[in-house]
Structure 1
Amino acid sequence: MTTPDDSQLVFDKDGVRLTVEDAVATVTLTNPAKRNAQSPALWRALTEAGRSLPGSVRIVVLRGEGKSFSAGLDRQAFTPEGFDGEPSFLDMARGSEADLDALIAEYQEAFTWWRRSDLVSIAAVQGHAIGAGFQLALACDLRVVAEDVQFAMRETSLGLVPDLTGTHPLVSLVGYARALEICATGRFVHADEAVRLGLANTAVPADGLDAAVRHLAAALLAAPRDAVVETKALLQGAVGRDYEEQRAAERAAQGRRLRDLAGLGD
């Protein structure tokens, strides 16, 4: 099995491939025949990817093979049989509330590690990013999209809600009213609107997507790691702090940086 460029293959299973090249890890969804539809096995593989990253990794790129980033949850989940070896949705509903909560929490783990303060994650999104696919793109810090991208949150049309950690970043990016409209209608958000709303950092022609992500990753790697880590933590916490609390957080972070640069760090 070959890997792109000089990347080292870490693992390749259940529709997920993890490769690492120096400070950049790439997580690739590898089932283009099903438009990278998602399943519990894929979610466990994504969780494992986060746990398998070497300490040298600073940037994680998330991408999907084929014409679509991810068309969302595999519809097999909605059949009485579900997936082999997995509880069907019907089985999940029949279980206790505690068991159901624990199972959804396990699935959510695949979507949580992308915002770790020691990493910057970039989703390279083309074609369909629907439901769980939209939420996976939202799990990342940054999104570079192809001009053919189509975001949609379709859970409500199935009688469900977005439960894979997508609601918090969506509201943070576009505001409550727009987030409600996008989720409740299930409509498509295309590239130009995605950039205008803040869902995407930039939109590029499909054949330029990989190059644009490489350029962004290189720009992020140009700054010292600890400065990026501190800055990311400051920005992540800003929404939950008032103005004076954020001022104090800035002073504390800058104090740590100055002491470190002076060789006085712990």
Structure 2
Amino acid sequence: MASPDSGSPESGPSVASTTAPVLDRDGVRLTVDEAVATVTLTNAAKRNAQSPVLWRALTEVGRVLPGSVRVVVLRGEGKSFSAGLDRQAFTPEGFDGEPSFLDLARGDDDVLDAAIAEYQDAFTWWRRGDIVSIAAVQGHAIGAGFQLALACDLRVAADDAQFAMRETSLGLVPDLTGTHPLVSLVGYARALEICATGRFVQAAEAERVGLANLVVPGDQLDAAAQDLAAALLAAPRAAVIETKALLQGAVGRPYEEQRRAERAAQARRLRDLAGIGD
């Protein structure tokens, strides 16, 4: 699953929303300001520790996101982006109304697989083709928190950000879709070392190895994320969508197939600019 939350330090200041929430429950708030949506983890008192109910709320955000949204900014209130899975998941009691992870492990294989697949749904929609997602990361991004940051297309980090994949150290594996983007960003050898040791990757290293696109002072994090969102909105939406699709498919395509994909995408763009329909 993901590493447990290791404590509940004092929370820091939150950024007030300028729009009424579209969704606000279970530790997740969604606000929309024209083409930019902001998803905020709101349980600062527990360092935005994650749980199945929070994952369902994140999945619902993906479902209710208006079609006008082009950029989604993901942030966490308080001093930590997300310190990982709430340790209560590993107790016999689990969460109210939820089977504990221990009970799931003792049960049917198909039920366990379906439960993990449901949890993964909260992490899969951030890279869909019609949006660009940005994680604004401060403080701890551990386990599930690290994987949630990795679920986004881009990451802006505060200079106090610390990333760690603690699952292997706990006898588990990263299972919330984080392995694929991690290897894509830093390569197999570094990804293995980060996961197998469970060590912390500080902000400066994260930027150097490609985990973070940008590192800024903590008091500039939200502004930097909004500036990046504005820059992404400057290009026509259709061009960004086509470019994102090309880049997402580049690793899995042979060179000649990628050349054909580029030609086809450019032909669509030229026809669109010339006012020629399909």
> TM tier, shorter chain?
over 0.9
Q: Which amino acid in the other structure matches residue 38 of structure 1?
A: Q
Superposed displacement of residue 4, structure 1? 3.6
Name which of 158, 164, 171 aligns with 2:176.
164
Output aligned runs, 1:30-109, within 5 Å: 30-109=42-121
Q: Which amino acid in the other structure matches residue 66 of structure 1?
A: G
Q: Which residue of 2 aligns with 1:9?
A: 21
Q: Which residue of 2 aligns with 1:116?
A: 128
Q: Which residue of 1 aligns with 2:187?
A: 175
Q: TM-score, normalised by structure 2?
A: 0.94
Q: TM-score, normalised by structure 1?
A: 0.98
Cα distance in 1 for partners of 2:245, 2:35 equals: 19
8 Å Cα contact 1:8-1:21 kept in structure 2: no
Cα distance in 2 for partners of 1:109, 1:265 equals: 35
Secondary structure of the residue aligned to 2:23 is strand
Over residues 203-249 of structure 1, what are the superposed CA-to-partner deviations in whole Å (9 max), with x where a residue is unaligned?
Answer: 00000001111110110000000000000000000000010000000
Output aligned runs, 1:249-260, within 5 Å: 249-260=261-272
Aligned residues between the structures: 264
Cα distance in 1 for partners of 2:82, 2:210 equals: 20
Cα distance in 2 for partners of 1:201, 1:172 equals: 14
- 1:197 paired to 2:197: no
Q: Which has the higher contact order (CA 8 A, sep 6+)?
A: 2
8 Å Cα contact 1:122-1:142 kept in structure 2: yes
Q: Which residue of 2 aligns with 1:150?
A: 162
Secondary structure of the residue aligned to 2:73 is strand
Higher mean C-alpha displacement, 93-102 vs 51-60: 93-102
Q: Which amino acid in the other structure matches residue 256 of structure 1?
A: R
Q: Which runs of 4+ in 1 moved over 3 A?
A: 3-6
Q: Which residue of 2 aligns with 1:125?
A: 137
Cα distance in 1 for partners of 2:196, 2:146 equals: 14
Higher mean C-alpha displacement, 31-40 vs 94-103: 94-103
Q: Which amino acid in the other structure matches residue 193 of structure 2?
A: E
Q: Which residue of 1 aligns with 2:6?
A: none
Higher mean C-alpha displacement, 63-72 vs 7-16: 7-16
Q: Structure 1: where are the runs of 5+ without partners?
A: none
Q: CA RMSD in A?
A: 0.9
Name which of 30, 34, 51 aligns with 1:22.
34
8 Å Cα contact 1:7-1:21 kept in structure 2: yes
Secondary structure of the residue aligned to 2:224 is helix
Cα distance in 1 for partners of 2:82, 2:17 equals: 24
Q: Structure 2: where are the runs of 5+ without partners?
A: 1-14
Q: Which amino acid in the other structure matches residue 241 of structure 2?
A: V
Identity level (%): 83
Q: Which residue of 1 aligns with 2:227?
A: 215
Higher mean C-alpha displacement, 129-138 vs 83-92: 83-92
